[in-house]
């Protein structure tokens, strides 16, 4: 028969085993707590992706507001593109409105629509964190900025030199060349990875080159700024430049949160990102108002262009 034996453990050994098991439990708990803390803390900043590092300070609320701005701008510019020239422009001066006027306004409105739509898609992608497509749409947004800048310059050049076709052609070709150079820099990775200040300097430099040469030529050709008032609205253009400079300052300095809300995480309508895009989109439509005023000045003057008329 098999004998039944019992093994007795000493109290010291039992206590040691109990302490080991309790130590093991404590270690597992501490490891679990450490893991929980790591999960709560998230990843270190240097381990984040490039797109996450660049947009770490922006909340989804701000991006939603910015996307909404450009969505409304897209709808407004599309409606103007479809209805404005036919229902307002031509009836305003039916006998003197030319096909060139028709093309100029539609050309600018088309670029405004593309500008707003590209920025809407870009900020929508940023809001839902589709990082795979973000860098491509960032390039598209920069290209849309250049297109809007060039279209605004070319359209105002037409009303500035409507009776000097040679100057209009020369400066239009110059704008196209400047645009191609800007495209080259945008399509490289240098501008994408640049700081805010460098990006602002780039776009301001392109703007200064596009504006300064035609303006100096017009001042010399028409004997001063006073004679330019019969062609374009200089005061309105000055306010447009002030708005662009203000937007650049907001973009670089991140005002107002850089001064008043350093320790606050909530963002909304008074965030620099929202204010910057609000001013930029508003300036695009303000330039459209300047074109309307220049169109009225040209067709109200005695020196009307002898181009293709809708009615003879």
Kindly list the distances between the CA atom of residue 57 and the CA atoms of 46, 51, 260, 264, in Å, as whole numbers in the listed order.
15, 12, 15, 11
Residue 277 annotated as part of some ligand binding site: yes
- Tokens 């300052």 appear where? 249
Kindly list the distances between the CA atom of residue 234 and the CA atoms of 169, 192, 226, 240, in Å, as whole numbers in the listed order.
22, 34, 9, 10
Could you count the other beta carbons within 10 Å of the beta carbon of residue 162? 24
Q: Which residues contact 227 (CB under 8 A, 6 or more apart)?
A: none
Nearest 5 degrees, angle CA 224-CA 226-CA 231? 100
DSSP state of 98: B
> What gap in Å lies between CA 145 and CA 206, rounded to an integer?
11
**Secondary structure (3-state) at 267:** coil
Q: Roughly what angle, to the nearest 10 degrees, separates helices 272-300 and 131-160? A: 20
> What gap in Å lies between CA 263 and CA 266, rounded to an integer?
9
Half-sphere exposure of 131 (CA within 13 A, CB side): 9
Residue 123 annotated as part of some ligand binding site: yes
Kindly list the distances between the CA atom of residue 161 and the CA atoms of 107, 231, 264, in Å, as whole numbers in the listed order.
18, 8, 51
Which residue ranges make up the annotated binding site for Zn(2+)? 123, 277
Residue set of the binding site? 123, 277
């Amino acid at each position: 028969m098999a004998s039944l034996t019992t093994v007795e453990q000493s109290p010291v050994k039992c206590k040691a085993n109990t302490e080991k098991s309790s130590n093991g439990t404590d270690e597992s708990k501490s490891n679990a707590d450490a893991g929980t803390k790591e999960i709560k803390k998230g990843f270190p900043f240097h381990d984040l992706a490039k797109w996450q590092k660049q947009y770490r300070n922006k909340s989804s609320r701000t991006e939603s507001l910015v996307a909404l701005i450009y969505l409304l701008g897209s709808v407004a510019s599309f409606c103007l593109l479809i209805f404005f020239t036919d229902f307002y422009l031509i009836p305003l001066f039916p006998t003197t409105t030319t096909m060139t006027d028709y093309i100029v306004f539609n050309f600018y409105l088309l670029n405004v629509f593309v500008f707003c739509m590209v920025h809407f898609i870009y900020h929508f992608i940023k809001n839902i964190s589709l990082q795979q497509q973000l860098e491509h749409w960032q390039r598209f947004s920069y290209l849309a900025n250049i297109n809007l800048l060039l279209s605004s310059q070319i359209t105002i050049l037409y009303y500035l030199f409507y009776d000097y076709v040679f100057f209009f052609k020369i400066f239009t070709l110059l704008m196209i060349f400047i645009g191609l150079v800007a495209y080259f820099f945008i399509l490289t990775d240098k501008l994408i990875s640049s700081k805010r200040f460098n990006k602002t300097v780039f776009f301001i430099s392109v703007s200064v080159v596009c504006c300064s040469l035609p303006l100096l030529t017009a001042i010399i050709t028409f004997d001063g700024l006073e004679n330019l008032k019969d062609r374009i609205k200089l005061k309105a253009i000055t306010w447009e430049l002030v708005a662009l400079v203000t937007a650049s300052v907001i973009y670089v300095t991140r005002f107002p949160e850089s001064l008043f809300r350093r320790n606050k995480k909530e963002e909304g309508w008074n965030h620099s990102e929202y204010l910057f895009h609000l001013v930029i989109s508003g300036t695009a439509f303000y330039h459209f108002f300047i074109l309307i005023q220049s169109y009225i000045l040209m067709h109200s003057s005695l020196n009307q262009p002898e181009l293709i008329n809708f009615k003879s």
